[in-house]
């Protein structure tokens, strides 16, 4: 426990450096001092006055501290915390600690977490300034044990469940949002806290700030939980029904939609997570989001649709049988955006047509620019072996669907034309996976052309 203001170490650990910087060369001194609102040597005098009389000398330092973090000593910090213990100038002390909490990491490396104990007491933990300070410090690894020992996350949960002050509630959630970027949030004891935050999305759907910070915090928590505990533990997160409710929120706020789409993408990345969500419910939301012209949103949606299609026939059939013309929208997207989104659109096309029968594929080939688009990628993206492999496998699937139904002659205008053949033969040098297999099928098709002529 801190017992008083007297300290045994020198007041200013940077004293010699400061004197060297500002006294050795007059020209340099003038140049350096101009960067600060007050000559640093004069600010040092304010610190000396504070150490002699902390209660009455704190105000001038509050105004200037942010510019002089290199002059704030460890002893100065200890005196501030002792003022909290003594309940002296509490608001001013918290305000100054808030400024200090944003100092560079080089300052905090020398501080010992246990010295923050007065700040974590029941007397101060519920101050808005304290919340801001803790939010700034939570990323430092040495703080984790201190927060756990004092059960800070659970203490703040009381305010989370009882506060009617929207601004204060946002400050609390912001603390949990930053905690979700650290390992500390993923102890099992805290799952309920984040579940309660997720429920605030629906109950505050008309409060943009509160709704958006709640959904962002939920997203960060789910993302972190998957990373820390892996998929096998996801049964312990009770967020799935909440997410389905968010889909029904009538809201055009782009931030909200993108965070919701990112959460859906997290679930679609793993088959084991897809079982928790009703794909037939989220698909209409994803498809409707495709028609909204926004590059970031479109990319996230395409990733999610690709993940869903990759998991099997039933999801493809759900899309094929829906009234939404996905392929038309994919071509619109292809012509609207640059390569990154074009590439994702191609991946979705490939997965989508895998389960077409020959009649559906033929109709598709007749009424689309698919072959031209694929040829363009074969020409220009020889540096992307994964995409080339998927394209070749797609061609093989198309070929075998027509072969199975005895309709190979219908493929001749598409697979035996000069543009397509040139694009395929240009791959001879790099020979991507499936290349030799598809080349044999092309040879068989060309033999058929020769025989017929």
pLDDT of res. 109 = 65
pTM confidence score: 0.79
Mean residue pLDDT of the chain comes to: 80
pLDDT of res. 38 = 66
Distance CA 426, CA 382 (A): 9
Residue 278 · residue 269 · CB < 8 Å: no
Q: What is the pLDDT of residues 213-252, one digit of tens each?
A: 999 999 999 898 888 876 666 666 677 777 778 888 877 7
Which residues, 6+ apart, have CB-to-CB distance to 274 below 8 Å? 267, 268, 308, 311
When pLDDT is cut at 50, 70 and 90, the band that residue 172 belongs to is very high
Sequence ranges of the domains in the chain: 1-142, 151-277, 356-453
pLDDT at 33 over 70: no
Among 308, 382, 377, 392, smallest CA distance to 343 is for 377
Q: Crossing angle of helices 313-320/279-290, nearest 10°?
A: 50
Among 134, 91, 89, smallest CA distance to 116 is for 134
- Sort residue 237 into left (φ over 0), alpha (ψ -120 to 50) or beta: beta
Number of residues assigned to the chain? 453
Among 238, 164, 236, 225, smallest CA distance to 199 is for 238
Max CA distance (Å), the chain: 105
DSSP per residue, 283-320: HHHHHHHHTS--HHHHHHHHHHHHHHHHT-HHHHHHHH
Instruction: Please give the structure tokens belonging to residue 241.
Output: 């029904």
Distance CA 217, CA 223 (A): 10
Q: What is the pLDDT of residues 434-444, one digit of tens each?
A: 889 999 999 99
The secondary structure of residue 383, as a DSSP letter, is T
Distance CA 18, CA 29 (A): 10
pLDDT at 383 over 80: no
Q: What sign for the dihedral angle of Cα 439, 445, 449, 451?
A: positive
375 exposure class (CB count in 10 Å sphere: 0-12, 13-18, 19+): buried
Of 91-100, 119-128, 258-267, 306-315, give the range with the top mean pLDDT.
258-267
Q: What is the residue whose two structure tokens read 């006055």? A: 49
pLDDT at 114 over 80: no
Residue 214 · residue 201 · CB < 8 Å: yes
Of 285-294, 367-376, 444-453, give the range with the top mean pLDDT.
285-294
Distance CA 382, CA 248 (A): 43
Q: What sign for the dihedral angle of Cα 202, 206, 207, 209?
A: positive
Helix ranges, 128-207 (H)? 128-137, 143-149, 152-162, 166-179, 191-203
Residue 306 · residue 347 · CB < 8 Å: yes
pLDDT of res. 341 = 94
Q: What is the dihedral of CA 311, 312, 314, 318, to 10 degrees?
A: 60
Please state which of the ranges 253-267, 270-284, 370-384 shows the lowest mean pLDDT.
270-284
Please state which of the ranges 25-39, 194-208, 359-373, 402-416 shows the lowest mean pLDDT.
25-39
What b-and-e string marks burial along 94-112, b requiring 16 or more CB atoms within 10 Å of the CB? bbbbbbbbebeeebbeebe
Q: What value, to the nearest 5°, has the Cα angle with vertex 395 and ends 342 and 335?
A: 20
* Cα of 213 vs its chain's centroid, Å: 13
Instruction: Please give the structure tokens belonging to residue 156.
Output: 């703040």
pLDDT of res. 36 = 54
Distance CA 292, CA 289 (A): 5
């Amino acid at each position: 426990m801190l017992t008083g203001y007297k300290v045994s170490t020198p007041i200013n650990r940077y004293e010699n450096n400061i004197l060297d910087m500002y006294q050795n060369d007059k020209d340099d001194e003038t140049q350096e001092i101009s960067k600060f609102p007050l000559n640093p040597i004069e600010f040092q005098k304010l610190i000396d006055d504070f150490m002699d009389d902390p209660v009455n000398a704190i105000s001038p330092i509050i105004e200037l501290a942010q510019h002089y973090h290199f002059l704030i000593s460890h002893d100065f910090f200890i005196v501030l915390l002792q003022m909290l213990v003594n309940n002296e100038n509490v608001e001013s002390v918290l305000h100054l600690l808030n400024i200090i909490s944003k100092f560079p990491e080089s300052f905090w490396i020398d501080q010992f977490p246990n010295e923050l104990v007065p700040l974590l007491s029941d007397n101060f933990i519920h101050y808005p300034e304290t919340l801001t300070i803790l939010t700034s410090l939570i990323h430092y690894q040495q703080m984790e044990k201190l927060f756990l020992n004092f059960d800070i996350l659970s203490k703040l949960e009381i305010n989370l469940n009882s506060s009617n002050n929207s601004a204060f509630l946002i400050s609390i959630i912001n603390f949990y949002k930053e905690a979700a970027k650290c390992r500390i949030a993923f102890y099992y004891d805290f799952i309920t806290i984040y579940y309660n935050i997720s429920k605030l999305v629906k109950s505050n759907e008309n409060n943009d700030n509160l709704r958006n910070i709640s959904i962002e915090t939920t997203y960060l928590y789910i993302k972190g939980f998957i990373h820390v505990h892996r998929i096998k533990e996801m049964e312990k997160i009770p967020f799935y029904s909440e997410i389905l409710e968010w889909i029904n929120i009538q809201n055009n706020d782009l931030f909200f939609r993108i965070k919701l789409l990112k959460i859906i993408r997290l679930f679609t990345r793993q088959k084991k997570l897809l079982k928790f969500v009703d794909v037939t419910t989220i698909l209409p939301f994803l498809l409707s989001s495709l028609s909204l012209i926004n590059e970031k949103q479109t990319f996230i949606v395409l990733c999610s649709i690709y993940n869903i299609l990759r998991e099997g026939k039933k999801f493809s059939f759900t899309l094929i049988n829906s009234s939404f013309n996905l392929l038309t929208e994919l071509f619109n997207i292809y012509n609207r955006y640059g390569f990154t989104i074009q590439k994702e659109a191609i991946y979705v096309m490939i997965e989508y047509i895998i389960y077409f029968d020959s009649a559906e594929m033929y109709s598709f080939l007749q009424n689309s620019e698919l072959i031209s688009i694929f040829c363009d990628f074969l020409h220009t993206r020889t540096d992307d072996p994964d995409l080339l492999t998927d394209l070749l496998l797609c061609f093989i699937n198309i070929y075998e669907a027509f072969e199975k139904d005895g309709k190979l002659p219908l493929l001749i205008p598409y697979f035996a034309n000069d543009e397509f053949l040139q694009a395929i033969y240009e791959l001879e040098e790099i020979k991507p996976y499936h290349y030799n297999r598809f080349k044999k099928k092309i040879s068989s098709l060309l033999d058929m052309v020769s025989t017929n002529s």
